[in-house]
Structure 1
Amino acid sequence: MTAVDLSEANSGSTIIGRFTGTDGERRGGLEQKLNALRAGVLGANDGIVSTAAVVVGVAGATTATGTIAMAGIAAVIGGAVSMALGEYVSVSSQRDSEQHIIDHTRRALQQDPEAELDALAGLYERRGLTSQTSHEVARQLSARDPLDAHLRERHNIDATDVASPWHAAAASFIAFAVGALLPLLAILLPGPELRVPITFVATLTGLALTGAVAAGIAGGSKRRAATRVVIGGALALAATYLIGSLLGTTGIV
């Protein structure tokens, strides 16, 4: 490339940063870590609110510690398994889709490499580079690793870092179970007269923390996010407790 081409490429947003792959790899790795952390926080949030709703509802109907404990443990196990299964199915579908794109791109490069090169160059032209510079950039990237260049630039996929459904399932299971321990311990450790208010306080505090952390990771308002989840959690707990109390007082359970 000439000096003029390099200058022009530098003006083309992140194009030059992607020539070596280092900037894109750093962004991709950081983004994946943040997504994993965010998923873990949200999994813990689900564990807190769903388990708390179950145990508070049962506590509204009965003061029997054994019954509350069994309901809470069932909620933890069932919820964690459900979260893990859902994450496994979701990530498996994503992985299948990414693998299809990888296989399709590999075949296209083998069958018509020039057409694929033109498609990659066209991407840079749409970002503001001239046709000559775009084709030079595409040729240099393709000379090193054509499959990697096309996957990263055209599909935002790293063929060496396809998501693992088993890892996602395990992370969701653990995050949910860890979050669920908070309301479970809060309902079981105090005496019957204090267990419900303590569980309310512990649950809403945990939700405020997870909401603030999730917002911090995403770059949003921590206060607004914490307020939303606290209000939602309070409504869920109040509803299940009232329903449990009604069932208990009417003798249905």
Structure 2
Amino acid sequence: MPKDYSDLLQNIILGGQDGLVHALGLSIGMAGATSSRELVLVAGVAAMLSESISMGAVAYTTARTAAKFDKKSRLDAEFSQKDASLLLAAGKRAGISEKKLSLVGGLLAKNGSEGHAQPLKRAALVWFSTMFGSFIPLSPYLLTGVERALPISLLLAFATLLVTGIFRAKETGEKWVLSGLEMVLAGGLATAAGYAIGSLLNVAV
């Protein structure tokens, strides 16, 4: 898998899964505490906005750090290339075959070949993915009341997680069953925790 595509897929899954699971857990918790879909939506939208901004900021700072490390590695590689040139010249004088020298030179040339991370692009991608993921479990509450929206929200969320897991498996070579179940399990744990907290709040009120 090309590195650029791998990074793209990783960021989409990171933001999308985080947003979906976070919004799902919160909406389930709110649905357990209130029958007002307006309250569920207000809490869900607030969480969607704050979580997407937070995830975007984390992605940006992480990418910035990676870019700085990458820059340092490439600078180090430039110095090492000078040593490599001297080494190859010495090997040539020693009578080492051109084929072997070419092989060694090719391996050395790979140092520092990775490109810079793109902080703004990565942050925007994670931000959008988090927003989109958050919208999925919240969307049914725009159309109907809590009692009907709740099972639809669960179905949409877990179907999305399952499909995402299967797609990830296709791209990474994992077993699709395990990958899909892993994604669903993560969402299920967050949902159970959110509902339990919402139930406790309902009892407290």
Shared fold, TM over 0.5: yes
1:32 aligned residue: 4
Deviation at residue 180 of structure 1 after TM alignment: 1.1
Report if aligned partners of 2:11, 2:122 keep a CA contact under 8 Å in 1: no
Report if aligned partners of 1:38, 1:217 keep a CA contact under 8 Å in 2: no
Report if aligned partners of 1:61, 1:244 keep a CA contact under 8 Å in 2: yes
Q: 1:196 aligns to what SS in structure 2?
A: helix
2:43 aligned residue: 71
Query: Which of 168, 172, 182 is residue 126 of structure 2 equivalent to?
Result: 172
Query: Which of 49, 52, 74 is residue 102 of structure 1 equivalent to?
Result: 74
Deviation at residue 169 of structure 1 after TM alignment: 0.4
Q: 2:155 aligns to what SS in structure 1?
A: helix
Deviation at residue 171 of structure 1 after TM alignment: 0.6
Query: Which of 127, 140, 149 is residue 195 of structure 1 equivalent to?
Result: 149
Report if aligned partners of 2:28, 2:191 keep a CA contact under 8 Å in 1: yes
State how far apart, in whole Å, the 1-side matches of 2:185 and 2:128 are: 25
**Corresponding position: 1:53 with 2:25:** yes
Give the percent of matched residue pairs that are identical in Structure 1 and Structure 2: 25
Q: 2:147 aligns to what SS in structure 1?
A: coil
Report if aligned partners of 1:207, 1:229 keep a CA contact under 8 Å in 2: yes
Aligned length: 199
State how far apart, in whole Å, the 2-side matches of 1:198 and 1:229 are: 18
State how far apart, in whole Å, the 1-side matches of 2:80 and 2:161 are: 49
State how far apart, in whole Å, the 2-side matches of 1:69 and 1:119 are: 66
Change (3 A) 1:96 1:194: same
Change (3 A) 1:215 1:248: same
State how far apart, in whole Å, the 2-side matches of 1:119 and 1:49 are: 54
**Corresponding position: 1:228 with 2:182:** yes
Cα RMSD after superposing both structures: 2.4
State how far apart, in whole Å, the 2-side matches of 1:199 and 1:85 are: 28
Deviation at residue 170 of structure 1 after TM alignment: 0.5
**Corresponding position: 1:134 with 2:106:** no
Change (3 A) 1:108 1:188: same
Report if aligned partners of 1:215, 1:221 keep a CA contact under 8 Å in 2: yes
Give the TM-score normalised by structure 2: 0.85
- 1:160-196 deviations in Å (ceiling 9; x for gaps): x322111100010011111111011123322222122
Q: 2:145 aligns to what SS in structure 1?
A: coil
**Corresponding position: 1:91 with 2:91:** no
Deviation at residue 136 of structure 1 after TM alignment: 3.9
2:92 aligned residue: none
Counterparts in 2 of 1:115-134, with a 5 A limit?
Answer: 115-117=83-85, 131-132=96-97, 133-134=99-100
Q: Which is higher, the Rg of structure 1 or of structure 2?
A: 1
